[in-house]
Structure 1
Amino acid sequence: MRSPKEMPLTAAELGYLWTGYSINEMSKWYLILFRAQAQDEEMKDLYTYALESANEILIERKRLLNNDGYPNAIGFSETDIDESAPTLFSDRFLLYYLHNGTRLGLEFHSRSLASATRVDIRKYHSNCVISTIQLHERVVDMLLNKGLYWRTPTLPAPTSPEYIQKSAYLNGWHGDNRPLNSMELANLYQIMDLLMIIETMCRGFTQTADSEEIAEIFQNGVTVAKKQYHALGELLEKDALPIAPSLSAEITDTKKSVLSDRIMVTHVAGLFGSLLSQYGFSLGAAMKHDLVTTYSAQFAKAGAFSEKITRLLIKKEWLEKVPGAK
């Protein structure tokens, strides 16, 4: 237990520690499974490194929670994965999956650090950020070395800096309609990357789910992600900008159960939660009317599906309760 001289965890510190534990504990089992299913030895080594990092983060996170008297999340076990099952996703997808995972991890750990007060909690989250940066570097290097990194477009450099001179800069539907700026493009492409991961995973989960009810909700997830991807893609097409290729071909034809329904539904719920966060952040940087309108509409649709999948988790008694106020 913590020393009586130490301050107890604040609500913010507890929220990020407990939620982070749940995320990392679930992710660990995906890392174990995907390492077993990877065909490329370099990929296996990369997943081994990612798994070691995840375990180190989990051990310390568990210790910090236990020291303040908080129980561990129930989490998952080896019964939720089948390492001997046929391969579900290609190595190419597994690399993109890890890339998106490190991106989301960097954002989560940074927010965790920003909300921390206690010295030991700040130090812990700082170490999480450093560990995730190191993993991200290795993932990006492998994407580049294998020629798989899809680069967003380069933009022409202006001849000189300038202020915005017309309110028409905000237009998006008619009149003096400007192209997307670099910050809007950065956020737009990142959302689309996540949507590709969600669509591909939901497709794979649809064909390997144990029950029809679960398969149906994954199919709904495919529909939502695909429609949103195309809606955002139309914004790029207006400015004659490229769209990243789909990953839906990176799924094998196996129908054998690879993951339990519970761990698959939980992961998809988490991915849609991350999608909502991405939309919220991107809305804050969007200035064009049509972009704001599109984000708002897609946010509402993603939120509706997120609630649907959360209700399923509650119905199945698969959703753990986050510690809260009395």
Structure 2
Amino acid sequence: MPKNVHLTSAEIGSLWTAYMNDSMSACILRFMLKHISDADIKPIVQYAYDLTSDHLKQLRTIFEDESYAFPNGFGEQDVDMNAPWLFTDTLCISFMRHMGKVGMLSYSGFVSLSDRDDIRTYFSQALTEANKLYNQASKIELEKGIAGRHPFIEVPKSSDYIDSKAYMSGFNPFSDQRPLNAVEISHLYMNVLTNSIGMKLCIAFAQTSPRKEVQDFMLRGKDVSKKHTKIFTYKLLEDEIEVSSIPDVGVSDSTTPTFSDKLMMFNMSLLISSGVGNYATAAAASQRSDIATDYERLSLENAKLAKSGADIMIKHQWLEQPPGAKDREKLAKNKDGSEI
């Protein structure tokens, strides 16, 4: 790429975010690979690890070509490879499927934010790889009978139009609420699944962190995920919609510090951000006002949790600062050549 085609702020931010996420994922996947025993699941984890390793190499090459300072990210110091096994193999494959889903959402956004051909090509390839990871993990889950499958409803026999504003209402105590539609059901159950994974990770991180404030944060996160799961499940059961069993994504009884607090807090920050995005999408797609309002209310709860997590990370200098614009006022006041 010609040197006169500079990276935009969107491309700089996307590359930084991708590096941070891949460096964190590499630590978790490397630990999983050492302990996982299921012969069907291990190749999927290996594929995911190979992807993250290759991504990090490509990103470093881009950074070098652009004189872009490497983010610190995460590395060997953030995982104890000698720690006892912490997860069940089932959690690993559920985590792979979730990684694929988050990757598809993230990379599609990065592609749309990028102007340069080489950057769009990189993120487009990463999007294809995330899609492959999701498909492979989904196939293994289904074959093993451990997939959390979305509820079944009758296939429509005819098309129809909304004939009343009451279709959009969910708060009127003097009229019956209409049944959930297929779009609302899909989002409710998807958020049951994602909160279930978040709940188990919070438990794993809480029991292995040596710091009480991190333990307390993770336990609070577990309680929030549990509460949200109950709310979404209740909405489905109100309409006699059965929620299929959630995969046994459990954790062991190990209390040995496995991952650094910095990595665990960053991981939870990523999961919470993903959850807020899921809720926003679900709220926009839900045509019953009570459901949309629930998502908005629960998003605020997630935002408060994220804020308390960020405060802990800032306190311990774990929160790496994304690239940003120069403070022009500060530059103007520092003309003595001192570093800004």
TM-score (norm 1): 0.95
Distance change (3 Å), C-alpha of 1:82 and 1:172: same
Of the structure 1 ranges 58-67 and 229-238, higher mean CA displacement relative to structure 2 is found in: 58-67
Alignment of 1:194-213 (within 5 A): 194-213=194-213
User: C-alpha distance in 2, partners of 1:223/1:22?
Assistant: 27
Q: Is the 8 A contact 1:210 1:257 kept in 2?
A: yes
Please provide the CA RMSD for this pair. 1.6
Q: 1:248 offset after TM fit, Å?
A: 7.1
Deviation at 1:124, TM superposition (A): 0.9
Say if 2:133 is the partner of 1:135. yes
SS in 1 for 2:40: helix
CA distance in 1, matches of 2:32, 2:252: 14
Equivalent position SS for 1:257: coil
Unaligned segments of structure 1, at least 5 residues: none
1:247 to partner: Cα distance = 5.8
For residues 301 and 186 of structure 1, what CA distance do their matches in structure 2 show? 22
* C-alpha distance in structure 2 between counterparts of 1:195 and 1:152, whole Å: 15
Provide the C-alpha distance between the structure 2 equivalents of 1:271 and 1:189, rounded to a whole number of angstroms: 17
Query: May I ask how many residue pairs the two structures share in their alignment?
Result: 324
Q: TM-score, normalised by structure 2?
A: 0.91
**Corresponding position: 1:160 with 2:166:** no
1:62-93 per-position Cα deviation (integer Å, ceiling 9, x unaligned): 22233222211101221221222211111111
The Cα of 1:170 is off from its aligned counterpart by 0.5
Deviations 1:191-237 (A, max 9, x none): 22111111100111111111222111111111111111111211111
- 2:218 pairs with 1:242: no
Matched with 2:233 is 233
Which sections of structure 2, spanning at least 5 residues, go unmatched? 327-340
> Does the alignment pair 1:257 with 2:257?
yes
* 1:205–1:247 Cα change, 3 Å: farther
Match of 2:183 in 1: 183
| Aligned-partner Cα distance in 2 for 1:281–1:324 | 28
Shift of 1:249: 6.7
CA deviations over 1:81-121 (Å, ceiling 9, x no partner): 12222111111111111111110111101111111111111
Equivalent pair of 2:96/2:133 in contact (CA under 8 Å): no
- Stretch of structure 1 that moved more, 313-322 or 132-141: 132-141
Deviation for aligned residue 1:41: 2.5
Instruction: Give the Cα–Cα distance (whole angstroms) in 1 for the partners of residues 138 and 176 of structure 2.
Output: 39
The list of structure 1 runs, each at least 4 consecutive aligned residues, that deviate by more than 3 angstroms after superposition, is 244-249
Distance 2:221 2:247 in 1: 15
Q: Which moved more, 1:181-190 or 1:300-309?
A: 181-190
Aligned to 1:275: 275
What letter matches 2:285 in structure 1?
A
Q: Which residue of 2 aligns with 1:15?
A: 13
